[in-house]
Structure 1
Amino acid sequence: MKNYRHYVLLVLLLFTPLLPAQEQLLDVLSKEADRNLELLRQEEVPAYYISYRVYQNSDQTFSSQFGGSDTPVREESRMLHVIVRVGDVQLDNTHEVKGDFFGSQNEGQSILFPLSDDPEAIRLALWVATDKYYKNAVQRYKKVKANVAVSVEAEDKSPDFTKESAEVYIEKKLTLKDLKYDENEIERKLNKYTSLFLKNKDILSGDAFFRAGIQQMYFADTEGRKIFQNDASVRLGLNAYTIANDGMSLPLYVSYFGFKASDLPSDKKILADVAEMSDMLSQLKKAPVADSYTGPAILSSKATGVFFHEFFGHRVEGARMKLEGDAQTFKKKVSQSVLPGDMSVYFDPTLKEYKNTLLSGRYVFDDEGIRGQRVDVVDKGTLKSFLMSRTPIDGFLNSNGHGRGMIYYDPVTRQSNMIVETNNPFTPGELRAKLRDELKKQGKPYGYYFGEVSGGFTNTTRFDANAFNVTPLIVYRIYADGRPDELVRGVNLIGTPLSVFSQIMACGDDYEVFNGYCGAESGSIPVSCVAPTMLIKTVETQKSGKSTAQPPVLERPSVNF
């Protein structure tokens, strides 16, 4: 009888389907979160919420310089991020400590995590991390309570944590093989691209890279969420620069994005872009330096996308507006006009593409385990809503799936796919005609066209000027009298956001997509910006800084092709 029971048990084990690896790990994370919370609820300062976020990164990078390959780099890692909230939803350890400008409420709470799925190793890692970060949470909570007791009453009376429904969502696990790239073919192509930079002696550095990566998020918390999703992508980038005779460094960049290798452009397209970069660098080296300027300008669709991301998008991230040190530019402007009436702005992480162009800011669930949602922030010029994480603000007490962050940081409200649209578009020729008309009205001999930009930065606090600074790479003067456009260099676009938004005169009928990374409080995250060309009545520029480095003394070696 005893042997018979063992036989039945063996048969049951053989025919019981094993859970997929991602579900097994989620099961351990979920059970340990519940077990640890039950114990920490009994402490003098009780915990009320725990979440575990695990990122598993698999990526491979190939690079080439001037036609020669560098050693490919292959990396595999797992990191654990722990959030322990103590107190209650109304007041917890994440609350702002007034006056503590250098004390972060976004402290990195991450550790290396076992790559194996051994349950015992995982439980031990969770135990050690949870104990450590619970103690950190208690210390900060005590600081919060002391600060609240001696500070003036907060302007924002909303709780510190939102209440949200829980979901279970599990995707099929992907590997790098699913990105379908051939290593030898990638190296050959990169060398072919960068070898073209050798033909131009003005170029001091010419390189390219290809990166294939999969970031897999495991998320479980004590509210019942269990999430597993893949973020698969490939990126190819071209970089080159030259130095003008006066020491000014002149870089150019081109990048491409896809979800798999076949999404990238053809060789013909990329080689044409390399040739265009090379020619433009030689032109920039000889171009005159622009003087400071105020007056009309046209921003290309690429420049507009970066501009709106930096100077509009960050000002509608809800969590910022809870901080009393933030300028809160738009917090009290809901239902008011903030842009021209023909313009609308929305953010939608559910979009994989826009007009057949892929978007890198897409995801299903954010880093707080909340499903990403479309948010119509501006409708026909009127401010309607904000991007929200699980940090609420007065009037907006729920997340719309925009809590994001690298594994090293607590998630905060961040952007996703930003789409800027107009219902009254103009052709490029019409925008130029409007620009020249405005130049004549203002008595200006020329305006500017900002083509490519490298990025920008802005300040959103109330303790300093809320100015912005954009660094354009390709800028042209457009003359009022119709003479040919003139390429210039050394221009920085500066100003204050509200003044520039009020100066938007017209939008174009073209759209381009910027797929890049945004760096802010919670680290670097992938985003997309889609916008049309824009005519602005008045912009301000200043001369950009320049290096004191001299161009090379030695002539670059000649290369035979």
Structure 2
Amino acid sequence: MIDELKKGLSLCDDKYADIRYEEDEMTRMSYRKELESFYNSVQNGFHLRVLAGGGMCSASFNNREDLPRIMKETSAAAKIGRKYRDREIDFKLAKPVTDRVLPAPRENPRQVPLEEKLRLLTHYNRLVLKMPTIQSTILYYYEWVKNKSYLNTENNAVEQQQVICGISGEIIARDGKSMENVRASVGGCEDFTMLRNREDVFERKAQIVSDLLRAEKPASGTYRVLLNQPMVGLFIHEAFGHFSEADLVKDNPGLLKRLRIGNQLGPDFLNVVDDPAQYGRPGYYVYDDEGVRGTRTTLIKNGVLTGRLHSMETAADMGEDLTGNGIAVGWRHTPIVRMSNIFVEPGEMDFESLLDLVGTGLYICDAKGGSTMGDEFAFGAQYGFEVRRGKTGKLLKGINMSGNLFVTMKKILGIGDDIRFGERGGCGKDGQTNPQSGSGGPHTVIDDVIIG
């Protein structure tokens, strides 16, 4: 395919162009208590970007025979677009490479028969439904295979195959008028081995949701809390991570002032990293969709803001280094700045020491979604526990936490030594839902968190 792309780009006489060909295959089978759906789809197409006359334009198309016409039209549109901007668009370019990247899992999901995948999903579904209080499930097996070819006019040529598979969904319990649900996920990577022998995950979550039927809600108020690893991952991704994406802050002077490199955002033991090279995590990749090799980016070091994530456009615009975070969810989309695997680095405190630090408060577990508005956040948890005198007590449900990012970051009191990543990725931005976005961290204590 690279040779075909070279023929196409040879038609370009503008400042810069790149073209990406992508073939996306998706397999999904799902249960809603009973087997509900089973499908496989394949889509493919091209995405072209042209820098011309100080403007930029992109186009998506299916038929390679249309490339000469689309190249001409895209160039003309880029020049017209410049008239409506206050400055020229430019790209910071990486050193050209020629590379081909293939997955190397212990067990490639593409080599596992569909019947075996269905048997495994059915096994976990039946295992959960054996419990008398479990009313229903919404469990599904998913598998994405992306074959990508990228070329630009600087002779940067990258071919790569990306694979991600997993089993995920909800477990729903009911007892009379009371109904509760929790989520369970395994996999989220290219290795099918991570889906096997995971009965403990589904059994544990089924027991938790059954126990939640008899649990109480915490009283509204301000608490010292201990967040478990999935909650820390949610917090650092949603509340802070999006502010590390340069395209969301570069044109916001007020936000940039608060997020100036060198600003103190948290305690001196807080370190936050984005790293696509974390193999086996949902956000693993070698090259982004601009042909830039993904790099480990330290976003916060010793509580100080030290970096942010970039595409080629934002790196040029802000005069900062490339990080390899230009991601598109498919050939229909142009790359935008996305997190890969964002996480809080482990500290030195063990779990018991963190509970002692909480004293009296809440232990909040497993993310249930949330929302942000500017620097304000609100997150839900699947369950939690009362903490008294440094010991966990009764199970709690209906826990919602909220606060301000900049205030809450400075209220972090302790970070554990037990980092863990979620096994289900996903992030929505600008109409692109990216499954290859991971998060994690260790247990973390935060003071003065609003609950209710």
Q: 1:502 aligned to 2:430?
A: no
Q: 1:405 aligns with which of 304, 323, 328?
A: 328
Three-state SS of the structure 1 residue aligned to 2:129 is: helix
Q: 1:428 to 1:336 in 2, by over 3 A?
A: same
Partner of 1:166: 96
Select which of 410, 414, 421 maps to 2:345.
421
Any unmatched runs of 5+ in structure 1?
A: 1-24, 42-47, 95-107, 115-121, 149-157, 353-357, 440-446, 461-465, 543-561
Q: Would the alpha carbon gap of residues 172 and 315 (structure 1) be closer, same or farther in structure 2, given more than 3 Å must change?
A: closer
Identify if the C-alpha distance between structure 1 residues 498 and 30 changes in structure 2 by more than 3 Å, giving closer, same or farther: same
Distance 1:128 1:540 in 2: 57
Matched, 1:434 2:384: no
> Deviation per CA, 1:25-80, whole angstroms, max 9, x where unpaired?
21121221231x22xx4xxxxxx2221112111232233343x4445312221022
CA 1:298–1:83 in structure 2 vs 1: closer, same or farther (change >3 Å)? Answer: same
Cα distance change on mapping 1:341 and 1:505 into 2, 3 Å: same
Output the amino acid matched with 2:207: D
* 1:401–1:49 CA distance, 2 compared to 1 (3 A): same
Offset of residue 335 of structure 1: 2.4
Q: Contact conserved, 2:346 with 2:418, CA < 8 A, in 1?
A: no
How far apart are 1:136 and its partner, in Å? 4.0
Percent identity over the alignment is 21
Partner Cα separation in structure 1 for residue 6 and residue 196 of structure 2: 42
Distance in 2 of aligned mates of 1:85 and 1:473 = 47
Alpha-carbon offset, residue 507 of structure 1: 0.9
Q: 4+ residue runs of structure 1 moved beyond 6 angstroms?
A: 173-178, 244-248
Q: Is contact 1:160-1:392 (8 Å) kept?
A: no
In the comparison of the two structures, how many residue pairs are matched? Answer: 447
Alpha-carbon distance in 2 for matches of 1:33, 1:381: 45
| Structure 2 contact 232–444 (Cα < 8 Å) conserved | yes
The gaps in structure 2 that reach 5 residues or longer are none
1:245–1:338 distance in 2 versus 1, CA, 3 Å: farther
* CA spacing shift, 1:248–1:383, aligned 2, 3 Å: same
Alignment partner, residue 284 of structure 2 = 362
Question: Within the alignment, does 1:512 sit opposite 2:420 as a pair?
Answer: yes
Against the structure 1 CA distance between its residues 397 and 286, is the aligned structure 2 distance closer, same or farther, given a 3 Å change threshold?
A: same
- Which residue of 2 is the match for residue 528 of structure 1? 438
1:519 aligned partner, one-letter code: G
Deviation for aligned residue 1:326: 7.1
Match of 1:202 among 133, 148, 152: 133
Task: Look up the equivalent residue of 2:60 and give its one-letter code.
Answer: S
Supply the distance in 1 between the matched residues of 2:366 and 2:205 (Cα, whole angstroms).
Answer: 11
Task: Say yes or no: does 1:263 pair with 2:185.
Answer: no
SS at match of 1:327: helix
Greater mean deviation of Cα atoms: 212-221 or 253-262:
253-262
Deviations 1:193-215 (A, max 9, x none): 21233334533321322223310
| 1:343 aligned counterpart, secondary structure | coil
Q: Please, what TM-score do these two structures have when normalized by structure 1?
A: 0.73
Q: Tell me which moved more, 342-351 or 241-250.
A: 241-250
Distance 2:205 2:81 in 1: 51
Equivalent residue, structure 2, for 1:442: none
Kept in 2, the 8 Å contact 1:315–1:330? The answer is no
Going from structure 1 to structure 2, the CA distance change for 1:385 and 1:247 (only over 3 Å counts) comes to same
Q: Report the 3-state secondary structure (helix = DSSP H, G, I; strand = E; otherwise coil) of the residue aligned with 1:75.
A: strand
- Equivalent residue for 1:459? 373
3-state SS of paired residue (1:185): helix
Q: CA deviation at 1:128?
A: 4.2
Provide, for residues 307-337 of structure 1, a one-character-per-residue CA deviation record: whole Å limited to 9, x for no partner. Answer: 11111211112222222377336532x2232
Task: Provide the alpha-carbon RMSD of the alignment.
Answer: 2.8
The corresponding residue for 1:28 is 4
The 8 Å contact of residues 57 and 213 in structure 1, kept in 2 or not, is answered as: yes
Contact 1:163 1:398 in 2 (8 A): no
Higher strand share: 2
Alignment CA distance shift 1:294-1:177 (3 Å): closer
Could you say which structure has the larger radius of gyration? 1
Residue 267 (structure 2) pairs with residue 340 (structure 1)? yes
Quote the Cα distance in structure 1 between the aligned partners of 2:169 and 2:21: 32
Given candidates 448, 465, 487, the residue that maps to 2:362 is 448
Question: Is structure 2 residue 306 aligned with structure 1 residue 392?
Answer: no
Task: Write the letter of the residue equivalent to 1:316.
Answer: S
Structure 1 CA distance for aligned equivalents of residues 188 and 346 of structure 2 = 25
